[in-house]
Amino acid sequence: MCTYYEYERRKVRILEWFLKTEYRQLLLSAIVIAFAFSLRYIFRYIAFGRLALGLEYISATVLAVILAFVPHELFHRFVARKLGYYARYRVWLLGLALAIIFPLITFGGLIFAAPGAVVIYPKYPFGYIDRKDYGLIAVAGPLANLIVGYVAMFAFFFVRTYVPLFPLVITLFVIMEINLWLAMFNLIPFPPLDGSKVFAWSKVMWLFAFALAAIPSFMMLYGLRFL
């Protein structure tokens, strides 16, 4: 049996192993976000005895988060490096905690989806990041979600009409829902979210991108659901 000190050190070593590389940090963040989004279906279906339907939604959620969170962060990094900046993903431990706490206390109704971010470094020592470059880097992440979300939306309508396989319909719907919601959340124009940087660079671009994400998201939020 280990002592309390040894137990705490073991937990720290496990955390240090996870945070050692960028991709492990990205993996940890994706796992936490997948769990956070899955809680809504645990409270909505499994808690009321609808186990099979709940498990279908949860499995769809895990896939949807992979197709939402990972491309979002990698698009940020890709554009930053194309513009000549050094960029890497870093986990935010408080953000990880909030991502779990918010859906727990709201029974899956509210999700804080900011467990980390791609950190951008200036091209030169003591340099700065151009406002336009910052805006382009910031909008790249939500753009990835909009692309995946709208592709899933069109595929959803096609499959529901011509190939009515319920598990596939659920999967496409959840991919659409999570990607559009994540794009809208990140485009809120308050620091440190992407929307604040896009808004500072181009208000027209911000409004266009936010509308593309917000309109279908609010349709789903206020009951005009597709299922």
**Residue 59 pLDDT:** 86
Q: In the prediction, which pLDDT does 5 show?
A: 46
Identity of the residue numbered 70: V
Residues 57-76 have pLDDT tens digits of 888 888 998 899 999 999 99
pLDDT of residue 4: 44
Place of tokens 């808690």: 47
More confident: 137 or 217: 137
Is-catalytic flag, 73?
yes
Pick the catalytic residue from 6, 8, 22, 73: 73
| Mean pLDDT in residue range 18-40 | 84
pLDDT of 179 reads 94
- The least confident of 53-57, 168-172, 223-227 is 223-227
pLDDT digits (tens, 9 = 90+) for 72-109: 999 999 999 999 898 999 998 898 899 889 988 888 77
State how far the Cα of 93 lies from the Cα of 84, in Å rounded to an integer: 28
* Highest-scoring range by mean pLDDT, 10-19, 22-31, 139-148, 170-179: 139-148
* Nearest alpha carbon to residue 26 among 15, 16, 18: 18
Q: Are 54 and 45 in contact (CB under 8 A)?
A: yes
Contact indicator for 224, 194 with CB cutoff of 8 Å: no
* 210 pLDDT more than 70: yes
